[in-house]
Amino acid sequence: MNPSKSFLSLLPSDAGPEARRRSELTPARHDARARPEAGSERKPRSFVPVVAVGWLGANVILAGCAAQATAANETRPATTGAPWGRLTHAQVEVLLPKAVVPGSTMDVGVRFTIEKDWHLYWNGQNDSGTPIEIELRMPAGFKAKQTLWPAPERLVEPGGILNHIYEREVILIVPVEVAKDANVGPAEIAVESKWLACKEACVPESGGAKATLKVDAVPAAHAALYVHEAVAKVRAALPIELAKDDPRVKASIDGRRATIQAPDAREIAFMPGSDCTPVKTLAERGVARSDKLEIELAEGPNTIRISGIVRVVNLEGVRAYYHIDTYAGARPESGQDRP
């Protein structure tokens, strides 16, 4: 039986050709539900199943998707982050200083504006989500360094699934070394990105953007030309790098157990980076309502590493974020971006 014919046969017998054409081009609508209140359970995410409908049926579905995208583009204009008119749940934008000089280092910001109730993923350990990927395209001689990631939020879902996410907006920072022999004049920086956007379902998406700055021959009198204000604010709020004997946060390892302490804290949470030794039952035991957090580590290599972000809430309710990196055994080499 031809599936497309069966689909069209559901229309009333007196339906005209225009009604039949609209029925062929109208896809099912997604039920956009409101985000649950904090502390309530969310429904598990899922991917929409695909049903084999035959060659003609597939063309009907593809035509419907094209019609929906065309209609949406007529009412929802593309932004800087969607220069090709793509409709995604996050939009990308490149944030640059107005000017740089040859041989200097600048911060390139990659801003993701995320649709309400959707989220993207951090580059640390997640149970199900995959992190944002970015690639910069720059003039010859410009060199990108390690990406800097702001602190994420913990998201615990039914079944003990733990992910670390960004909602509404996140700006990733890529320090870039400007070539010493960079040509004076305009220089274009472009970004290509891939990410997984999730709400109740997950959608792999991609996008890109570009922007232009000026390469000056000599430094200008106004230092503000060499930073982007929004990027500077994010850099100032990045997790604090702790010296070995910094009293604000201390981490220790004893066998397969690690302890993180912060004096005068009323809450401590640990968000493990990609290089951290896996932690058991982190969804349930990754937060302590006290000044001490104890976590149990999974079996693995002899070298144990506790690396990631510690979120500390003090007695006044003020949050602070710290980056820790503690070893038991030989220090391993790592090429991962630091969270």
Q: What is the structure's pLDDT at 339?
A: 58
Q: Which residue type occupies 107?
A: D
Nearest to 148 by CA among 162, 134, 168, 161: 134
**pLDDT confidence bin for 226, thresholds 50/70/90:** confident
Q: At what angle do helices 54-75 and 17-25 cross, to 10 degrees?
A: 80
Which of 202-206, 221-225, 324-328 is most confident? 202-206
The string of pLDDT tens digits covering residues 304-313 is 899 999 999 9
Is residue 8 over pLDDT 70?
no
Task: For residues 240-269, give the mean pLDDT.
Answer: 93
Q: How far apart are CA 156 and CA 159, in angstroms?
A: 9
Contact at 8 Å (CB) between 110 and 134?
yes
| Planar angle of CA 325, 197, 61, nearest 5 degrees | 155
| Planar angle of CA 37, 40, 43, nearest 5 degrees | 105
Q: What is the structure's pLDDT at 88?
A: 92
Q: What is the structure's pLDDT at 176?
A: 97
The runs of H, that is alpha helices, within 29-168 are 54-75
The string of pLDDT tens digits covering residues 80-113 is 444 434 579 999 999 999 999 999 999 999 999 9
Query: Does an H or E element contain 296, and which?
Result: strand 292-296
* Domain layout of the chain by residue ranges: 3-75, 90-236, 240-328
Q: What percent of the chain has pLDDT over 90?
A: 62
More confident residue, 29 or 14: 14
Task: For residues 314-331, give the mean pLDDT.
Answer: 88
Is residue 225 over pLDDT 90?
no
- Strands lying side by side in the sheet with 257-261: 250-254, 257-261, 292-296
Separation of CA 56 from chain center? 38
CATH superfamily of domain region 90-236: Thiol:disulfide interchange protein DsbD, N-terminal domain (2.60.40.1250)
Query: Does an H or E element contain 112, and which?
Result: strand 105-114
**pLDDT confidence bin for 10, thresholds 50/70/90:** very low
Dihedral over Cα of 284, 286, 288, 294: its sign:
positive
Q: What is the structure's pLDDT at 220?
A: 75
Q: How far apart are CA 138 and CA 174, in angstroms?
A: 12
Is residue 297 over pLDDT 50?
yes
Q: How far apart are CA 43 and CA 204, in angstroms?
A: 19
Is residue 47 over pLDDT 50?
no
Q: What is the structure's pLDDT at 31?
A: 35
Q: Identify the DSSP state of 201.
A: B
Look up residue 49 and give its two tokens.
Answer: 């199943």
Contact at 8 Å (CB) between 197 and 116?
no
Is residue 70 over pLDDT 90?
no
Domain 240-328 adopts which CATH fold? Answer: Immunoglobulin-like (2.60.40)
Separation of CA 301 from chain center? 29
Q: What percent of the chain has pLDDT over 70?
A: 70
Task: For residues 17-30, give the mean pLDDT.
Answer: 37
Domains 90-236 and 240-328 share a fold: yes
More confident residue, 43 or 175: 175
Helix, strand, coil percentages in the chain from 3-state DSSP, rounded to 5:
15, 40, 45
Considering the entire predicted model, what is its pTM? 0.73
Is residue 36 over pLDDT 80?
no
Is residue 139 over pLDDT 90?
yes
